[in-house]
């Protein structure tokens, strides 16, 4: 059944090394996927994304179906050629964006009807059309269509929505055209309710997917809730398949989720923060807009090898942020993506060497030290 | 007197090859300087600017004196280190920007008082402070402070203004601290009046500068007027010093000005156009926003070696422009700067080989062919 090989390597507690083998190359897990919403990781060329160490990226089905359109992307040779990213691409199903961006949503058993936020045109997304759109995009990893709910949500509504998503997942599995090196992931829903999460996970496992995502988090619930949901969900997922925590998160959340057995991550934080003057560093976050950087000749992180840290001072980056120069977004995005990839390298080394708990502890201590005194 | 060596090489008609030797390296002329207004060539890293073939850039004194401030740049090691551009930097005097951007300008014999467009603070720019600010920035080529006038301007007003600029130029020459490999350029003014241009050029020549700029053009006067002013001005400039046409221009204007003996150019066109979806090509300009590119798998120019043409289709660039992705600005700016530098390479080769007139003719014919049929 499976189109995607996933070789599980060393484990260290619940943390695990793996290798996902796809039609577009292999990826070592745990992996972080930068977000390329509209077929562009914002403020980065695809070559630059690869230089940060990224091997797999995410693109948004919702945005791409509206503009430039899945048929057009297919006519141009698929998403990989279109955006010059030969590596694996995971596309989300569009369900989350319909919920958060589209207008006049109407959800029925059939699917979800909505108006485009780009041009107001009406669209319908069904499990079947969702599979077809992602096939046209040539997604390496296709996600099932799911319904998203508000946070917080009552148990009854969470259960109704999760069961609708399960029925949609089954239709997605039916409609998905399997090809070697391509895969389909199910998405566990169920709000913050352990029993619903378990029911969702077991239901998806019974259908059978190439991988299992944990959805409906990263909606403002905070890490304590996220970790609780992970602990209630992961034991119900098959050990031999990749697990993907959608939309998470801060560096410390990624470390915490790896400790709970998660293999794949995506998040807009490094790219979005880069466009607002925020940098992630070993010593915790830096706000380059802050006046304390105005005369600081040091790089953001002396040990970082990214172009921003190699060639530019905090004073210069501060100036670029204040002057609203595009280069500020470019350099800080590059740095943040580099930081996230280095974090994943560190995580994988620690698991390989059986010292993940110590790594997580040292990571937390270094983040807490802050960056007040000179590096 | 001269801090800048300028070796004049082959000439071909009035067009001339040269080499400007500065404290920050040598530059072959005719040269095009990308504009790095606020110590950043917009949407480009300094490394990328160098990769386009650029060897010398321009930065704006007015913007930098207001933010981050000349003293701060000096404390951080000067503009070259600040923005990671080790090559020569020419800074304008700020006169043009005070005229076009600042508020509440008051011009007296002493200098120009104004309010910053950034924060409303009052500033005074005199010939002496203008030299000091550019010294603090560590400008390779410093420009004299001049007064700019509206276009069109009556002869009487143009004469008054030009003579004030001449007196300021003399004070700049006095105040400028000469250093080996650094230079000071005078600026010819006089509106569109041949006799005033001649008077300005002769007056500056009598004072003596390392190079001579032709100012007050690129204000909407059009190429016929620009070329007429050049023909009235250039014969009054010393043959052994570089000539710089400020703020010009379109590719065809550069070819035309080289034919009239100009050596240095700067213009925001390639960078600004890149941010609005406009590309310059051998076949004339392309507007990537245009729907005709939406499904076009071809690069903008099959013979161009820039990253945009090497890896991305017109369809993708069209998509990026429509989706307002930062990458659109990045790729189109890179392409445009690359195009301008390739144009200068072509111009220099043609002069070297004594075929500049044929080059100019072939250039005009190719631009006129347009890009309707497949390349």
Angstrom distance (rounded) from CA A149 to CA A62: 17
Interchain CB distance below 8 Å, B315 and A82: yes
- Beta bridge partners of residue A265, listed in sequence order: A32, A245
Residue A213 falls inside a structural domain: yes
Averaged pLDDT, A331-338: 98
pLDDT at A150: 86
Interchain CB distance below 8 Å, A84 and B43: no
Residue B196: name the closest of B238, B222, B165, B174 by CA: B165
- What tens digit of pLDDT does each residue of B239-266 get? 999 999 999 999 999 999 999 999 999 9
Is B111 in the same domain as B25? yes
Averaged pLDDT, A314-338: 98
Q: Which of B267, B288, B313 is where one domain is finished?
A: B267
Whether omega before B30 lies within 30 degrees of 0, making that bond cis, reads: yes
Interchain CB distance below 8 Å, B77 and A297: yes
Q: What is the domain-level CATH number for residue B76?
A: 3.20.20.105
β-pair type (A264-266, A243-245): parallel
Interchain CB distance below 8 Å, A38 and B319: yes
Q: Identify the helix (H) or strand (E) that includes residue B320.
A: helix B314-322
Angstrom distance (rounded) from CA A272 to CA B338: 29
Instruction: Determine the Cα angle at A195 with ends A190 and A201, to 5°.
Output: 60
B374: pLDDT confidence band, cut at 50, 70 and 90? very low
> What residues contact A333, with CB distance under 8 A and at least 6 apart?
A41, A42, A43, A44, A270, A271, A274, A275
- Residues B173 and B128: beta-carbon distance below 8 Å: no
- What tens digit of pLDDT does each residue of A150-171 get? 889 999 999 999 999 999 999 9
Is B15 in the same domain as B96? yes
Q: Is the pLDDT of residue A374 over 50?
A: no
Q: What does chain B come to in residues? A: 375
Interchain CB distance below 8 Å, B326 and A326: yes
Is B75 in the same domain as B156? yes
- Residues A79 and A137: beta-carbon distance below 8 Å: yes
Reported as half-sphere exposure (CB side, CA atoms, 13 A), residue A47 has a value of 8
Give the tokens for residue A96. 């989350």
Is B262 in the same domain as B278? no
- What tens digit of pLDDT does each residue of B112-144 get? 999 998 888 999 999 999 999 999 999 999 999
Q: Is the pLDDT of residue A373 over 80?
A: no
Reported as half-sphere exposure (CB side, CA atoms, 13 A), residue A352 has a value of 11
Nearest to B319 among A39, A47, A312 (CB): A39
Angstrom distance (rounded) from CA A283 to CA A303: 11
Reported as half-sphere exposure (CB side, CA atoms, 13 A), residue B63 has a value of 19
Query: Does A296 touch chain B if contact means CB atoms closer than 8 Å?
Result: no
Residue A363 falls inside a structural domain: yes
Averaged pLDDT, A308-316: 97
Q: Which of A267, A296, A327 is where one domain is finished?
A: A267
Percentage with pLDDT > 70 across chain A: 98
Candidates A326, A331, A334, A335: best to mutate against B (most CBs of B within 10 A) is A326
A375: pLDDT confidence band, cut at 50, 70 and 90? very low
ipTM for this prediction = 0.97
Residue B165 falls inside a structural domain: yes
Which chain B residues are within 8 Å of A331, Cβ to Cβ?
Answer: 45
Q: Is the pLDDT of residue B372 over 80?
A: no
Which chain B residues are within 8 Å of A79, Cβ to Cβ?
Answer: none
Nearest to B312 among A42, A75, A84 (CB): A84
Quickly tell me which residue has 């390989």 as its tokens.
A352
Interchain CB distance below 8 Å, A326 and B42: yes
Nearest to B313 among A46, A76, A326 (CB): A76
Query: Does B331 touch chain A if contact means CB atoms closer than 8 Å?
Result: yes
Collapse the DSSP code of B124 into the 3-class scheme (helix H, G, I; strand E, B; otherwise coil) and give the result: strand
- What tens digit of pLDDT does each residue of A240-263 get? 999 999 999 999 999 999 999 999
Count of structural domains, chain B: 2
Nearest to B294 among A68, A318, A331 (CB): A68
Is A219 in the same domain as A296? no
Whether omega before A152 lies within 30 degrees of 0, making that bond cis, reads: yes
- State how far residue B321 is from chain A, nearest Cα, in angstroms: 11
Collapse the DSSP code of A298 into the 3-class scheme (helix H, G, I; strand E, B; otherwise coil) and give the result: coil
Is B135 in the same domain as B221? yes
Interchain CB distance below 8 Å, A319 and B38: yes
- Residues A83 and B320: beta-carbon distance below 8 Å: no
- Residues A257 and A228: beta-carbon distance below 8 Å: no
Query: Does A359 touch chain B if contact means CB atoms closer than 8 Å?
Result: no
Residue of chain B nearest A71, judged by CA positions: B295
> Which entry of A12, A210, A263, A266 is annotated as an active-site residue?
A266
- State how far residue B320 is from chain A, nearest Cα, in angstroms: 8
Residue B43 falls inside a structural domain: yes
Q: Phi first, then psi: give them for residue A263, nearest 5 degrees.
A: -115, -30
pLDDT at B2: 60
Q: What does chain A come to in residues? A: 375
Averaged pLDDT, A74-97: 96
pLDDT at B1: 47
> What residues contact B65, with CB distance under 8 A and at least 6 apart?
B94, B123, B125, B133
Whether omega before B249 lies within 30 degrees of 0, making that bond cis, reads: yes
Q: Which of A267, A294, A321 is where one domain is finished?
A: A267
Question: Dihedral angle at the C-alpha atoms of A286, A287, A288, A293, nearest 10 degrees?
Answer: -80
Which chain A residues are within 8 Å of B57, Cβ to Cβ?
Answer: none
Is B136 in the same domain as B111? yes
- Residue B374 burial (10 A CB sphere; 0-12, 13-18, 19+): exposed
Angstrom distance (rounded) from CA B320 to CA A30: 31
Which chain A residues are within 8 Å of B310, Cβ to Cβ?
Answer: none
Q: Is B266 a catalytic residue?
A: yes
Averaged pLDDT, A73-97: 96
B16: pLDDT confidence band, cut at 50, 70 and 90? very high
- What tens digit of pLDDT does each residue of A276-302 get? 999 999 999 999 999 999 999 999 999
Residue B374 falls inside a structural domain: no
Query: Does B329 touch chain A if contact means CB atoms closer than 8 Å?
Result: yes
Q: Is A371 a catalytic residue?
A: no
Average pLDDT, chain B: 95
Q: Which residue segment(s) compose the domain that A289 sits in?
A: 274-369
Is A233 in the same domain as A86? yes
Averaged pLDDT, A330-349: 98
pLDDT at A1: 47
Is A216 in the same domain as A316? no
Whether omega before A30 lies within 30 degrees of 0, making that bond cis, reads: yes
- What tens digit of pLDDT does each residue of B217-228 get? 888 889 999 999
Angstrom distance (rounded) from CA A83 to CA B307: 13
Which residues between 49 and 88 in chain B have a beta carbon less than 8 angstroms from any beta carbon of chain A? 63, 67-68, 72, 75-77, 82-84
Q: Given phi > 0 = left and psi -120 to 50 = alpha, else beta, which region is B267?
A: beta
pLDDT at A13: 97
A372: pLDDT confidence band, cut at 50, 70 and 90? low
Which chain A residues are within 8 Å of B75, Cβ to Cβ?
Answer: 295
> What residues contact B292, with CB distance under 8 A and at least 6 apart?
none
Q: Is the pLDDT of residue A334 over 90?
A: yes
A2: pLDDT confidence band, cut at 50, 70 and 90? low
- Residues B78 and B137: beta-carbon distance below 8 Å: yes
Query: Does B291 touch chain A if contact means CB atoms closer than 8 Å?
Result: no
Helices marked H in chain A? 46-51, 61-66, 70-75, 79-83, 95-100, 127-137, 155-175, 194-207, 223-233, 251-258, 269-274, 307-311, 314-322, 326-352, 356-369
Residue B260: name the closest of B211, B226, B221 by CA: B226
pLDDT at B375: 41
Which chain A residues are within 8 Å of B42, Cβ to Cβ?
Answer: 325-327
Interchain CB distance below 8 Å, A325 and B40: yes
Averaged pLDDT, B135-154: 94
Instruction: Determine the Cα angle at A296 with ends A291 and A300, to 5°.
Output: 95
> A82-86, A179-183, B120-124: which range is least confident on average?
B120-124
Q: Is the pLDDT of residue A304 over 50?
A: yes
- State how far residue B55 is from chain A, nearest Cα, in angstroms: 18
Which chain B residues are within 8 Å of A329, Cβ to Cβ?
Answer: 326
Q: Identify the helix (H) or strand (E) that includes residue B9.
A: strand B5-12
Is B249 in the same domain as B288? no
- State how far residue A297 is from chain B, nearest Cα, in angstroms: 6
Residue A348 falls inside a structural domain: yes
Residue B375 falls inside a structural domain: no
Is A212 in the same domain as A98? yes
The separation between CA A202 and the C-alpha centre of its own chain, rounded to angstroms, equals: 23
Is B12 in the same domain as B135? yes
- Beta bridge partners of residue B27, listed in sequence order: B20
Query: Does B292 touch chain A if contact means CB atoms closer than 8 Å?
Result: no
Query: Does A309 touch chain B if contact means CB atoms closer than 8 Å?
Result: no
The per-residue b/e assignment along B108-134, b for 16 or more CB within 10 angstroms, e otherwise, is eeebbbbebeeeeeebebbbbbbbbbb
């Amino acid at each position: 059944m499976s189109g995607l090989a996933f070789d599980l390597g060393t484990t260290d507690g619940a943390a695990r090394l793996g290798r996902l083998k796809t039609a577009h190359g292999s990826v070592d897990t745990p992996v972080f996927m930068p977000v390329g919403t509209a077929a562009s990781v914002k403020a980065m060329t695809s070559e630059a994304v690869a230089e940060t160490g990224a091997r797999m990226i995410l693109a948004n089905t919702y945005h791409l179906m509206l503009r430039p359109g899945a048929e057009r992307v297919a006519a141009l040779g698929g998403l990989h050629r279109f955006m010059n990213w030969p590596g694996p691409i995971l596309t989300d199903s569009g369900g989350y964006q319909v919920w958060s961006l589209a207008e006049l949503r109407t959800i029925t058993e059939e699917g979800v009807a909505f108006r485009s936020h780009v041009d107001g045109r009406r669209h319908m997304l069904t499990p079947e059309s969702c599979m077809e759109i992602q096939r046209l995009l040539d997604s390496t990893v296709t996600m099932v269509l799911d319904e998203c709910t508000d946070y917080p949500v009552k148990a009854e509504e969470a259960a109704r929505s999760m069961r609708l998503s399960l029925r949609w997942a089954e239709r997605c599995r039916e409609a998905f055209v399997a090809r070697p090196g391509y895969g389909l992931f199910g998405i566990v829903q169920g709000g913050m309710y352990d029993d619903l999460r378990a029911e969702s996970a077991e239901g998806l496992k019974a259908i059978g997917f190439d991988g299992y995502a944990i959805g409906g988090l990263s909606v403002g619930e905070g890490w304590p809730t996220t970790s609780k949901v992970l602990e209630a969900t992961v034991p119900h997922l098959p050990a031999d398949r990749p697990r993907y925590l959608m939309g998470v998160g801060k560096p410390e959340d990624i470390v915490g989720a790896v400790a709970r057995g998660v293999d794949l991550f995506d998040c807009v934080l490094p790219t979005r923060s880069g466009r607002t003057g925020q940098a992630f560093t070993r010593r915790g976050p830096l706000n380059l807009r802050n006046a304390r950087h105005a005369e600081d000749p040091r790089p953001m992180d002396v040990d970082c090898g990214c172009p921003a840290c190699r060639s530019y001072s905090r004073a210069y980056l501060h100036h670029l942020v204040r002057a609203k120069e595009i280069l500020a977004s470019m350099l800080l995005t590059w740095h943040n993506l580099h930081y996230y990839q280095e974090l994943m390298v560190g995580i994988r080394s620690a698991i390989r060497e059986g010292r993940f708990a110590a790594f997580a502890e040292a990571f937390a201590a270094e983040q807490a030290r802050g960056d007040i005194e000179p590096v």
